[in-house]
Amino acid sequence: MKIKVSINRKKLELTIAPNDILLDVLRREGYHGVKRGCGQGDCGACAVLLNGIPANSCLIFGAHCDGLEITTIEGIADTGKLHPLQKSFLDHGASQCGFCTPGMLISATALLNRKPKPTEAEIRDALSGNLCRCTGYMKPLEAIKATTETRKKT
């Protein structure tokens, strides 16, 4: 079957099988920042934005994405340089192995797009669907808080 999607602001028509999950479709198209973690929607490693809302791509059929705007970690920065959140994660050592980092950045991006100055509790809630075994959660929390303090209101 054919679906029309926009991935990272690029309009595409893709041929997929009706049972292809979005995670597999994205990785097949070269978006390798979307990670295969648990395959059950528990870890957040496969998180993407669907029309601006975070979703675990391992739980969604690609066919259900026809007509949607999909943003992967590769599409967070559109200027050829790091997004302020990505830079803050680097500056704060908020990533070790990097496996969970794309999902955390997707979740944080959705939060900051919705609420530019979230509370610590709101940041924690936004990251609650992302599991990290290396870095833990304090450094990503600090990186997100630092981004909210330095970012200009748009």
Specify the fold of 84-150. DNA polymerase; domain 1 (1.10.150)
Give Cβ neighbours of residue 88 (< 8 Å, ≥ 6 apart).
94, 143, 144, 146, 147, 150
Top-tier CATH class for 2-75: alpha beta
Q: Edge-to-edge, what's the strand order for the sheet holding 53-56?
A: 10-15, 2-7, 69-71, 47-50, 53-56
Q: Where exactly does CATH 3.10.20.30 map onto the chain?
A: 2-75
Q: Where exactly does CATH 1.10.150.120 map onto the chain?
A: 84-150
The pTM score is 0.92
Question: What pLDDT sits at residue 124?
Answer: 95
Flag residues of the chain having pLDDT under 50: 153-154
Question: What pLDDT sits at residue 152?
Answer: 54
Question: What pLDDT sits at residue 5?
Answer: 98
Give the residue from 112, 94, 113 showing the smallest Cα distance to 102.
Answer: 94
Give the residue from 34, 52, 45 showing the smallest Cα distance to 130.
Answer: 45
